[in-house]
Amino acid sequence: MGEACKLSIPYRCFNVSARRAVHLPRQATGLPPASATHAGIDLPAQGKWLCRLKFRQINHLQNSAQVKHIIGAKPPTHPASPAAHPAPQVVRLQAVDANSAGQRLDNFLLRELKGVPKTHVYRIIRSGEVRVNKGRASADTRLAEGDLVRVPPVRVSDRIEEKAAHPAPAREFPVLLDDDAVLAIDKPAGVAVHGGSGVSFGVIEQLRQARPQARFLELVHRLDRETSGILLIAKKRSALTHLQAQFRERETGKTYLALGVGAWQANKKVIDTPLHKYLQQDGERRVRTTTADDPDGMRSITLVKLRQRLPARPEAGLPEFSLLEVTIKTGRTHQIRVHLASQGCPIAGDEKYGDFELNRRLQRHGLKRMYLHAWRLQFTHPASSERIELLAPLPPDLACFFPLS
């Protein structure tokens, strides 16, 4: 073999990993220039084979690196860059204000650490990382005004940070009552009351953006996304607990207007049938009636009063309808919808429990959504103790199909 093609470096140099070798200049490794061949390297047979293998690995890695550079792969972060060393998070002491007085520690932290999973919040409480007035506390500890809560640094997911960077759009809604303690709005149909599965934001998130000066805004109760009407929001924690107690003790009057398909036989009726929540195979939430001995059944009470009848229109393919005033004594998921359907009078336009073929015909006649509206709400004002009655007028999309008489 020609002396010009011999390598002058020892065989052990090829023990350098291929990954490191690709970053070294050819002069530093002692390898021949790219134009030289390796066929004439003066090494034992075993060494010649290994040498050829190393050259293939080096060429492959060099080509891969060039391809990655061409397609725009991200270069490694420089150790000195800010991205490599994010600003360290620090412990903070959060004072409990009047709006948070009486709240449980876990609920207080869930509000302070928005986006942090509940499991993580309970873990930092159990581990003692969270302190109240420098002492350990349990999740059910009730906070008092002026307490100092030690909130440790926590990491949030990229999804939560992205959500924080792009908050819900600010939006106001028609106001029925607005004072220092309570806000009542007329929620339109098609708007969720809060963000959740499949919904980035709802009424409460939009209101908080529209009213940045409001230190406290919390839902007192909920409405289905498809339901329009009165929605009550507390502006103080004391008002929230007072109003929720009224709902829990059935001291409020919640009356809906519902258009049932068919003839409601009784002028007045009480439906006292337990309801059972379950999930379908696709993960969709559903509710069905059940028996009193069902351990998972929840007692549900609905009062129904016939207000007006709409005769059938055979020429249009429409049956008889009954406009009902429905008052619920319990606030179960989909209570009115399931109770009316169980009586053979499903709500017109209900896509979950209604007559699906009829719903398609109703859309052609102008009813584009479920005919269910939270029409009247009675409660005791948490500050003045005055008995309040609110009325939300029937929205145009329902009034055009079947107006109130």
Note whether 257 and 391 are within 8 A (CB). no
CA separation for the pair 376, 94 (Å, rounded): 40
CA-CA distance, 164 to 160, in Å (whole number)?
A: 6
What's the average model confidence in pLDDT over 69-87? Answer: 46
Scan for tokens 């302190």, then name that residue: 131
Residue 216 has pLDDT above 70, yes or no: yes
Confidence class for position 258, pLDDT limits 50, 70, 90: very high
- Single-letter code of the amino acid located at 103: Q
Say which residue, 237 or 178, is predicted with more confidence.
Answer: 178
DSSP 221: S
Among 224, 282, 350, 355, the active-site one is 224
Question: What 3-state DSSP class applies to 125?
Answer: helix
CA nearest 335: which of 307, 306, 299? 299
Rounded Cα distance between 262 and 344, Å, is: 8
Residue 68 has pLDDT above 80, yes or no: no
pLDDT of residue 5: 46
More confident residue, 156 or 157: 156
Of the two residues 300 and 71, the one the predictor is more confident about is 300
Which of 362, 368, 363, 343 is closest to 353 using CA atoms?
343
Buried b (16+ CB within 10 A) or exposed e, 25-38: eeeebebbeeeeeb
Q: What is the pLDDT of residue 9?
A: 46
pTM recorded for the entire structure: 0.67
3-state helix, strand and coil shares in percent for the chain, rounded to the nearest 5: 30, 25, 50
- Side chain identity, residue 367: L
Res. 167: pLDDT tops 90: no
Let me know if 224 is a catalytic residue.
yes
Q: Radius of gyration (Cα) for the chain, nearest Å? A: 34
Q: What pLDDT score was predicted for residue 249?
A: 93
Give the pairing of strands 228-234 and 372-380.
parallel
Check residue 321 and report its DSSP letter: E
Regarding predicted confidence, which is higher, 41 or 103? 103
Which structure tokens are listed for 36? 């030289």
Do the Cβ atoms of 354 and 347 come closer than 8 Å? yes
Chain mean pLDDT for the chain? 82
Within 10 Å of residue 148's Cβ, how many Cβ atoms?
13
Is pLDDT larger for residue 196 or for residue 138? 138
The contacts of residue 193 (CB under 8 Å, 6+ apart) are: 187, 202, 203, 204, 219, 222, 223, 225, 231
Tokens 């034992």, located at residue:
44
Report residue 99: phi and psi, to 5°. -70, -25
Task: From 128, 137, 134, 138, select the one nearest 148 (Cα to Cα).
Answer: 134
Q: Which two tokens stand for residue 102?
A: 């009486």
Predicted pLDDT at 8: 47
Which CA distances in Å does 398 have to 89, 116, 154, 366, 377? 52, 41, 48, 9, 19
* Of 44-48, 154-158, 187-191, 352-356, the least confident: 44-48
- 175 has pLDDT over 50: yes
